[in-house]
Amino acid sequence: MTKISKTHHAQPVSCPLVEEVPFTDPAALLQHLRNHQDLAFLDSVDRSPSLGRYSYLAYSAFGTFRATMGRAFWNGKAFEDPPFVALQNQLKLYSQPTLKESLPPFQGGAIGYISYEAGRLLEKLPSTDFEHERIDDIHLPFYDVILAVDHFPDGGTNASPARAWIISTGWPCTGEKQQTHARARLDWFRSELAAAATKPPTPHNTPPIKGWRSNFSRSGYQQAIERTRHHILEGDIFQANITQRFSASVPKYETATPLAYYLQLRKENPAPFAAYLACGDHVIASSSPERFLTLDATGHAETRPIKGTAPRDLTNPVRDQVLSKNLLNSDKDRAENVMITDLMRNDLSRVCKPDSVKVPDLCRLESYARVHHLVSVVIGHLKQGMGPVALLGACFPGGSITGAPKIRSMEIITTLENLPRGVYCGSIGYIGFDGTMDTNIAIRTVTFKDDLVHFGVGGGITVLSDPAAEYEETLHKAAAIFKSLGTSVEEERAGLERDKTEKDEESPDR
């Protein structure tokens, strides 16, 4: 096993190196970089100065941190320490100061995901028998050189065009070699991007993915809602987030690539925390609207739980406004949001200075391409000695996709859903070598693996929940994903709803 060194590498004052380059939409570059096995794109599609200001593109990592089956690995070599301890120590090896505040906040570091099942690395939860279906619990390539894009370089008026920079850290080299390596990598990355930018767009006429099935029938999902309500009435929990997973086979056509479907997804469901991750034998495509945790260089932390969803009607502005007002006035949705906001406030308090934890926004309406959401904001300032991994450890998984109390809700979720969630309901984002972090809640997220494609949808269940309405809400949330994959809820409804399995009756909690 690898013994983790506690030594921090000293970094030359001149590193990282930064060079501004002509802006090219990173999404256009993806098609010509798609063969890289560790291609990572954090994509602010739904752009705004506050949430969707920056995008980042990286590939050719110098190392990959993975955790699976309770053990952590660096480039295939096992660590002795538990995964989150190993991750914290590995990041410290490459620590660097923050560059100018005028640059995008991510200036080199890890980009990847932490799956929902990684929560088992932090809390004692019942063992499961579906480990064979898992992908990595943690998958975080470390990138020494990145492309960083600021879509609002003037701070928010959108009067100036987007700007882009290559940032090259020189890691994993140290000493005098680091600056030389940083320059060589910057020059190489610039030439790679320039070559990709000159290539014509590649058509991506994707074949539709049809024949979808769920791990629940309609009646089975509604029974799960009733079981959850029973737990609430018994006093076990206040609420829980119950999900179903949709699965299908990817057509065997040359154009049926995960990247092609991602480009459709970002078009149909633009979101501020979208992402595309190539992870070797699997690919993650996300169009999440929800920020999980962000941490800046000063120690300021923020989480933005989403609870409460209503469909949009963009063809009828009057009805669309009625739908949004109904959501704002919904006792059920507001209660759900307030409970999760309180949970996240408590989680932040574990690692933040007590007087710093505040809720500046509670149950604010935010409207996206397909749905309206109720969103709250919780902020805090980390205690001395705390960093991004400690913040993750205190808050993961996010309360909006578990429930309250968190641990008991997760126990019930495992029993009722009887499948791993994988990256769905986990988190995607970056952890910088300078201690900054920005991550999403991986909802509206699709996983491609072994010629199969999966995605999950769900909702928060309270004592006021109506099982039929909760089932329909999951389909509202799935609509944009289905459309991006070439089909629709109505086309797939019969297959999704049918009683095709005995799993619903076999679950010991039903």
Q: Which positions are annotated as active-site residues?
A: 290, 307
Which amino acid appears at position 364 of this protein? R
Q: Locate 220 and state its tokens.
A: 């089975």
d(CA 510, CA 501): 15
Tally Cβ neighbours within 10 Å of residue 491. 14
Which amino acid appears at position 196 of this protein? A
Strands 109-114 and 427-432: antiparallel
Q: Could you please report the per-residue DSSP string of 232-251?
A: HHTTS-SEEEEEEEEEEEPP
Which amino acid appears at position 477 of this protein? K
CB burial readout 28-54, b (16+ within 10 A) else e: ebbbbbbeeebbbbbbbbbbeeebbbb
Tally Cβ neighbours within 10 Å of residue 452. 12
The H or E element that residue 180 is part of is helix 176-198
Strands 213-214 and 109-114: unpaired
d(CA 164, CA 147): 7
d(CA 40, CA 103): 20
